[in-house]
Amino acid sequence: MTPLLEVRGLARHYRVRRPGGLWGRTAVLKAVDGVSFAIGRGRTLGLVGESGCGKSTAARLALGLLPATSGDVLFDGQPLSTRQDAAWRASRRKLQLVFQDTLGALDRRLPIGLQIMEPLDIHGIGTRAERLEKTKDLFTAVGLLPHMFDRYPHELSGGQRQRVVLARALVAQPALIACDEPISALDVSIQAQVINLLHDLREQFGVAYLFISHDLRVVRQVSDEVAVMYLGRIVEQGTPDRLFRQPEHPYTRALVSAIPVATPNRARQRIILKGDPPSPVDVPAGCAFHPRCALAGPRCRVETPALRSMPGGHRVACHLAGETAAAA
Ligand code: SF4
């Protein structure tokens, strides 16, 4: 079956001034470097990794909001246009993006009801009365109260604004929403409400999600599949159950070891990584993770590991894949 969204070998490189460089010396910053994944209809792919690993850039590339340096994006089996033509505008309706900063995403001078209805106006969907009715229906679907229709963004709580942003993304019936850290700025109790809302909306509207977060507990809860990114590449990908129960890549194992457990007497051993992630301008040769990896050997310093398929559809980019889990 054709995936709803498929990205193949996607890369985005920037030429930048080298920090401290003289005479205009430049370098190539590899924000995303050869990422491939697929998302089926009504499915959720979780994308995790440290800040600056390329998650958000990968999402913008996948949605056609940024032109790629190389690679392909297929939406419903067709190449996704990045030129702002009619095909691009049609894909904008089907592919939506939700940000963490809800105040920044909304117009402070416009009532929220009109902001939710705006995509219908832009795409010329239905009559004015039909658009209004659809917007009011969505108000109920995302748990907003009818009397809030004329409120302004600053009059709402963070959780209510996140509901407005989701309603605005949903109103034109998208096939996929990329949620970029959608709950990071919310209180824990509100986070749970928004997670439940995302789940309910998926059931109700059949929308697929590309869910970006650094919170692995949340990603495990919402995802059908999880991809772990490090320095612009996917280093491990699989079902949440397999990836969190038996992580293979040493980086994934370190991330998983940092997840708090509910029963302190069964606490897992925390793996502390050496140093900070290297700059994407100076990606180490061989395996990019080798300066921080306790298992690095001579081969790791010279040869970049490919993302290899393991039994059960699991994929790992490590020369020791298949041995690390056993060693752990
Ligand atoms: Fe560590 Fe080598 Fe595997 Fe990279 S390839 S994660 S350095 S063991």
Q: What is the pLDDT of residues 193-242, one digit of tens each?
A: 888 889 988 998 899 999 999 889 999 999 999 999 999 999 999 999 99
How far is it, in rounded angstroms, from Cα 36 to Cα 5?
11
Q: Is 295 in the pocket of ligand 1 (CB under 6 A)?
A: yes
Q: The tokens 């939700």 sit on which residue?
A: 98
Q: Are 199 and 117 in contact (CB under 8 A)?
A: no
**Mean pLDDT, all residues of the chain:** 90
Which residues, 6 or more positions from 32, have their beta carbon under 8 angstroms from its beta carbon? 10, 11, 12, 54, 57, 58, 61, 68, 232
**Domain count of the chain?**
1
Q: Is the dihedral of CA 147, 96, 52, 3 positive or negative?
A: positive
Structural domain that includes position 85:
5-327
Per residue in 39-58, pLDDT (tens digit) is 999 999 999 998 889 999 99
**What pLDDT does residue 184 have?**
79
**Shortest-distance Cα residue to atom 6 of ligand 1:** 318
pTM for this entry = 0.91
Q: Which CATH number covers residue 140?
A: 3.40.50.300
Ligand 1: distance of its center to the CA of 213 in Å?
A: 24
For residue 324, give the ligand 1 atom closest to its CA: 8
Tens digit of each residue's pLDDT (9 = 90 or more) over 59-101: 999 998 899 999 999 999 999 877 777 777 778 889 999 988 8
Name the DSSP letter for residue 293: -
Q: Could you identify the atom of ligand 1 that is nearest to the CA of residue 299?
A: 2
Q: Which long-range contacts (CB under 8 A, 24 or more apart) does 71-74 make?
A: 71/7, 71/8, 71/9, 71/10, 71/11, 71/34, 71/35, 71/36, 72/7, 72/8, 72/9, 72/10, 73/5, 73/6, 73/7, 73/8, 73/10, 74/3, 74/5, 74/6, 74/7, 74/8
Distance, in Å, from the CA atom of 136 to the CA atom of 114, rounded to the nearest integer, reads 10
